[in-house]
Chains A and B, each alone.
Chain A
Amino acid sequence: MSALGLVAGAACLGLLGLGVLAQSQSPLADSSNRSILHGAAVEYLFPEQVTVPAGKPSPVAFHFRIAEGFHINSHKPKEDYLIPTSFSIPETPGVALKDATYPDGTDFTLPLDPSTRLSVYTGEFTVQTLLVAQRGNHLVQASLHYQACDKNACMPPKTIPVPIDVIGN
């Protein structure tokens, strides 16, 4: 009974502690400095890992999400002064990017300049690629380069990492 009591007492204290801790802690204690202005307007969604036949060009789709209220230029913006969205994989012996196909942009106009039509991505978008992987497991740090704006301001161009584990078999 004493051993059972000890275990029960410890369990009680543990559960009580969990409850009190959860009630008292600030929900955003670990993210107090988050702001979209200081973070990325684009988030890489998936895949984290793909398996492809070794040595053969294989289709792999990369999915991204743009924060609400923002847009980024498409891969083919209509004005030459705008920065296109582009996906790249560094040259490594294990994995090569053979081709990348981007979605068409949608037309967008700024409220104060309705005569200028921009070609942009909003929401979620996908870059279709052809990858060639050698046999083995390759940790690849691909990247997406983009420049984001909302209807009144623009953030500087940014490159976000796109980490993916490519298995060639």
Chain B
Amino acid sequence: MKRNSIVLSIVLLLLAAFAWAGWANWEYRKQAAEKRLASAAKAELVADGAGTGDLPHFVSPLMSHPAPGFTLEDLSGKKVSLASYRGKAVLINFWATWCGPCKIETPWLVELRNQYASKGFEVLGVSLDDLDTDDKKMLANEKRDIAKFAAQEHMQYPVLIDGASIDKPYGGLDALPTSYFVDRSGKVVATQLGLTSKDDIEGNIHKALGE
């Protein structure tokens, strides 16, 4: 009886050690996996040290698919539809007044739009600024702020508002600036997340123009 109890205790001890080892191993793997996940998630937004491009490639499920159609108002209240640009290469640039990197990128877009407009290229600047549609006074102030930003940045291309209403078909738009380059047939041929470089944008404009 005494011998049985000793054997049983040893077996239980060994099994407890096995269970503890399993738990410790699981904890270790969990921490390692969390570290990998954290660095992978960070890589979606962080560029190289110089900040001059080489962002990890942003792969959108929309690549090689037709750009989701939309109709939005511009700052004057005129309705603008993506479909009306069929036959042109279009850069759909999602931005907001509170987005510092967008402020850096916008002058590049203005220059590139002027440079390539004659080839059939257009930029649609879609603002993601919140709009209080239930409060007329607030709405007027918000539109005024967007218009002020557009004027300061010399955005001579169509500036559309209420971009949040089309964020789902465009992948949620979790970070700005986000750009979709659409070719003359309406297909997405390139995408960019975050601030890259003027050269990168120009390269993608060439893709959209089919050059």
Contacts and interface: CB of A to CB of B under 8 A. Distances in A.
Interface of A: 1, 4, 8, 11-12, 15-16, 18-23, 25-28, 31, 34-38, 68-69, 81-83, 110-113, 116, 118, 147, 149-157
Interface in B12-50: 12, 15-16, 18-19, 21-23, 25-27, 29-34, 37-38, 41-42, 44-47, 50
A149 B11 contact: no
A168 to B, nearest CB: 35
A106 to B, nearest CB: 15
A112 B8 contact: no
Contacts of B66: none
Interface of B: 1, 4, 8, 11-12, 15-16, 18-19, 21-23, 25-27, 29-34, 37-38, 41-42, 44-47, 50-52, 55, 96-104, 128, 130, 145, 149, 172-177, 193-196
A154 B176 contact: yes
A1 B8 CA distance: 11
Chain A interface mostly helix, strand, loop or mixed? loop
A35 B15 contact: no
Nearest to B176: A154
Given A37-B174, A81-B145, A15 B100 contact: no
Contacts of B51: 110-112, 151-152
B42 A19 contact: no
B23 A22 contact: yes
Given A25-B26, A27-B33, A110-B100, 8 more contacts: A22-B26, A23-B26, A27-B34, A35-B37, A35-B41, A68-B42, A69-B42, A82-B100
A8 B21 CA distance: 20
A38 B47 CA distance: 19
A15 B16 contact: yes
Contacts of A16: 15, 18-19
A116 B1 CA distance: 82
A114 B103 CA distance: 13
A15 B71 CA distance: 61
Contacts, number: 149
A45 to B, nearest CB: 18
A28 B1 CA distance: 46
Contacts of B99: 149, 154
Given A1-B1, A12-B11, A69 B23 contact: no
Contact of B100 (A37, A69, A118, A157): A118
* Complex A-B, nearest 10 residue pairs according to Cβ-Cβ distance, in ascending order: A111-B51, A27-B30, A153-B194, A19-B22, A22-B22, A152-B194, A22-B26, A15-B15, A153-B175, A19-B19
B100 to A, nearest CB: 6
A22 B20 CA distance: 9
Given A15-B19, A19-B18, A28-B37, A151 B47 contact: yes
29 contacts: A8-B12, A11-B12, A12-B11, A15-B18, A16-B18, A19-B18, A19-B23, A20-B22, A21-B22, A22-B19, A22-B25, A27-B27, A27-B30, A34-B37, A35-B44, A36-B42, A38-B172, A68-B42, A81-B103, A81-B145, A147-B98, A149-B100, A150-B45, A150-B194, A151-B47, A154-B99, A154-B102, A155-B175, A156-B176
B161 to A, nearest CB: 15
Contacts of A35: 37, 41, 44
Contacts of A12: 11-12, 15
